[in-house]
Structure 1
């Protein structure tokens, strides 16, 4: 009895501790749910605004429904998806979308890096120059597209043809995809510049001073110190820009209407054409679901990158 008594007392103590821990967990969970209570209306609003329309889109994608043919609404399963995959125009437009996203993001990131390096220096009027360079990102997409179409790229009165020698070129008609990309690059370069400039200003100056003392030149300092430090900021800007550029519509609608033909169309504009010009709701919904899936994939990668950026984690090189 004397040898087993301590074990019994210890078991009872552990039992009491376990009950207390369970009670504390119950209180903490109740407290957590109480704190989440004010967020419930926002959660309901988000579900109503985003998820319910997407469920309707999934439902419409399983139907054959043309608005100009009354009584044509019927269930056909996944036939719309089969038709979309076999649509050569859809894949051409998808290639245009990739070209717009990749070209715009890379060029805007490069220009943003150069402008950020310029603004990181101290010179007279730096605040004014910074404000002027940020302005394009504050202009609404429709106004920016109209400005590039009429004031910059017009074959008769455009500034570009006035600056360049030779006969006036109708840039929008001859180079529709490039014209749209120019307007997008003009608008997104300030965004890249701000992110990279924030990265430059967060870089410790003593590291650069130590590099200069060791005899490193400006190019070596940029390659070995500045660029590795800016990698996370550049990656973040590229991924966020790609997510937003997937939904580009305003510039294409205002500048080229997707033409000639579908030469400058992207996936959102092609979906608009199929739904509101071709009145084929089923195929337009199927295309929308496919675009959403690809967007979710890109957004998932973006969220992981943002998490790594804010937690300071980097992948091992």
Structure 2
């Protein structure tokens, strides 16, 4: 009896082993087409970052290449103590917080508008999305020349029209960029990134359970009560995602600052200061250290964003 049981058991072991090897082979066959893309991704992202990390440990000025030497973490200490870099960090924080908060509020208002049914909603949605589709450098040029120009810009043209309408002959024609430089950059970024927030929040609004909203309506809840106690809690994850992704993009923004103000008048954020340090001052080590700081900060924000996205996917899967 013992022999008759053990023989089939022994005969099954090679089959299991063969199945395991076949499964691994099929898994590698499935992953093989992705290997070139993975190698390319590592070559264009990770290797340059490693090179930047190594350069950040050296005192390296391209105008004096023979004087290059290893300095350890001194460049990172300079990033913290250098007044220009410290001011650029503060400017980056102020710019990011202001733009993200305003875009979230405006995006929520537009999302609530598009969540309703009305004639021409498709056209309105297309027009509201358009600023996000424009190339960032083109959007910055549009604001600098078409709106902010003190001689032929639309803003001063509107002020002149209002002055003529009310009989005010000496209507002031402000220079928007020199008069309010940081606000000018923030307005251009708000115009461009509000559609991004709107799309995220609109997706959240359209994912609300219809039964819950219908029950609230039948119970006599007002529009404000429905928004406060049902819609807003449901949008919490989407608001977090919008804030985190918006922060990742705005922290790295270079186009608007470079195009509108060229980093002057206190608008130089950290990416622009890195550009100045690298290409103007030729301080490769210091610029690399500042770049590593930006990348680490962005990765921290992106980690929180990925967690929010994962939680959204889990909630949708559980709901389904």
When normalised by structure 1's length, the TM-score is: 0.89
> Partner residue of 1:63?
58
Q: Does 1:117 align with 2:120?
A: no
Q: Does 1:201 align with 2:206?
A: yes
Alignment of 1:257-296 (within 5 A): 257-260=262-265, 263-296=266-299
TM-aligned CA distance change 1:225 to 1:9, over 3 Å: farther
Q: Does 1:298 align with 2:293?
A: no
Alignment deviations for residues 8-60 of structure 1 (CA, whole Å, 9 cap, x no partner) = 98788777767655543333222212211111100110111011111111121
Alignment of 1:73-88 (within 5 A): 73-88=68-83
> Partner residue of 2:20?
25
Q: Does 1:128 align with 2:123?
A: yes
> Partner residue of 1:225?
230
User: 1:138: how far off?
Assistant: 0.8
Length, aligned pairs only? 307
Alignment deviations for residues 134-159 of structure 1 (CA, whole Å, 9 cap, x no partner) = 11001111111111111212223222
From 293, 308, 311, the equivalent of 1:308 is 311
User: 1:115: how far off?
Assistant: 0.5
User: 1:102: how far off?
Assistant: 1.6
When normalised by structure 2's length, the TM-score is: 0.89
User: 1:184: how far off?
Assistant: 0.6
Alignment deviations for residues 264-288 of structure 1 (CA, whole Å, 9 cap, x no partner) = 1111110000000111111001111
CA distance in 1, matches of 2:296, 2:11: 51
Alignment deviations for residues 271-313 of structure 1 (CA, whole Å, 9 cap, x no partner) = 0000001111110011111111111111111111111111217
> Partner residue of 1:38?
33
Alignment of 1:41-190 (within 5 A): 41-164=36-159, 166-190=171-195
| Unmatched 5+ stretches in structure 1 | none
CA distance in 2, matches of 1:104, 1:16: 69
User: 1:88: how far off?
Assistant: 2.3
Mean alpha-carbon deviation: is it higher for 201-210 or for 279-288?
201-210
CA distance in 2, matches of 1:13, 1:169: 92
CA distance in 1, matches of 2:294, 2:182: 20
| Unmatched 5+ stretches in structure 2 | 164-170
The secondary structure found in structure 2 opposite 1:132 is helix
C-alpha root-mean-square deviation of aligned residues, in Å? Answer: 2.2
Mean alpha-carbon deviation: is it higher for 304-313 or for 16-25?
16-25
